[in-house]
Amino acid sequence: MKLDAALLKKLAEDQEDEVVKIRRRLHQNPELGFEEKETGRYLAEVLEALGLEVQRGVGKTGVVALLRGGSPGKTIALRADMDALPMQEENEVPYKSQKPGMMHGCGHDAHMACSVGTAMIFSKIRKEIAGNVKFIFQPAEEAPGGARPMIEQGVLENPKVDAILGGHVWGGIDSGKVEVKPGPVMASSDIIRLKIFGKGGHAAQPHKSVDPVAIGSEIVGALQKIVSRQSDPTEAVVISICVFRAGDVFNVIPNEAYMEGTVRTLNNELRAALPEKIEAVIRGITEAFGATYELNYHKDYPVTVNDPGITESFRLSAEKILGEANVGIAAKPSMGAEDFSYFLLEIPGTYIRIGVRNLEKGICQEIHHPKFDVDEDIFKIIPAVYAQAILDLLA
């Protein structure tokens, strides 16, 4: 049996209907982060039926499946996330979510289906493979993050993983195309939670109060000076305050205000310096106006940094399946965040973008939209792309 692109494409095309069926079942039955019990059970049963060694409950609700090749070699991992979003689906399709207020609006159902499709291909050619393939189905990517608990429980060991691949469906890229990008591909994501304690009073006598609303407004504006005047203008930094709550009555200055926001960068060293700068701004303004504060700065996902060598290998592999014209290099990283970043802190790997847009079918929305959907034609090609990339890394 010759393990070439032609064989992989044929295997992927032959199993397309089954992979679509799996995707639709997953789409109809979404579950939120760390609640993916039924999703995990179903995936485990499908993978066990393929003859893989399956572990359940890794990182609470995650699933890991190991395919051992016919001879020893490296181990390459493929990661897919499992969780859905707490949003109501507005698509009218036969496979619409059956759970009110829950939807695979970020395409994780497609990620899982593509990974299962890749496992199906490898189950047919396992004797020809030198090495192992580890399929990681990770919970809670949206929040609070399932990658780190899986790593802590040894998902990258026994056998030790040499490299890891992952991908995300992308509503702005046409179906049949993929994009790669070496280096930073997605931003870090940290959370600011701030309470400002002032002194309440009558709105007509502000001089007798310490107004946390006015102070908070000064802080919102001053934080942008960190972006424009304290950061290298060639480095991406985002500080967005998205929650600002204070008061209940139109003519009463409240005692306190609450603010919440996100901080994002594409540089882990810059990320490490921002908390001190942000607190210095908050401290200076609150002290100047006679208020106090309580800051909770939560470090969430790190920057997702693709290994240049693995990324180039993936690009060449994808061209074997899709053709050079359908494999692009992303012009810009995304300021969205991904906990796939934790895997890349441990081992080299790459995270790609998978095109799912098909204007003729009316599939044109971006992720997190209530009418987001994917062109199901991807299920006859992306498993072959992943399989080729893994085989090339095992070689």
One-letter identity of residue 336: G
Per-residue buried b or exposed e for 1-10, using 16+ beta carbons within 10 Å of the residue's own CB: eeeebebbbe
Task: Answer yes or no: 95 catalytic.
Answer: no
The catalytically annotated residue of 95, 293, 301, 342 is 301
> With contact defined as beta carbons under 8 Å apart, do 383 and 17 qualify?
no
Tokens of 107: 């395409």
> With contact defined as beta carbons under 8 Å apart, do 76 and 165 qualify?
yes
For the four alpha carbons of 33, 367, 117 and 337, in that order, the dihedral sign comes to: negative
Cα(first)–Cα(last) distance of the chain, in Å?
A: 16
Question: Could you say which DSSP state residue 365 is in?
Answer: P
Task: Answer yes or no: 301 catalytic.
Answer: yes
Scanning the chain, the segments in alpha helix (DSSP H) are: 5-14, 16-28, 37-49, 108-125, 147-152, 212-229, 268-288, 308-322, 341-346, 382-394
Sequence-distant (≥ 6) Cβ neighbours of residue 184 within 8 angstroms:
266, 267, 303, 304, 305, 306, 333
Helix H or strand E encompassing 265: strand 256-265
Q: Which of 83, 87, 91, 85 is nearest to 35 (CA)?
A: 83
Say whether 306 sits in a helix, a strand or coil: strand
- Cα 246 from Cα 366, distance rounded (Å): 33
Q: Which of 356, 390, 327 is nearest to 110 (CA)?
A: 356
Please give the distance of CA 78 from its chain centroid, rounded to a whole number. 14
Annotated active-site positions, please?
301, 376
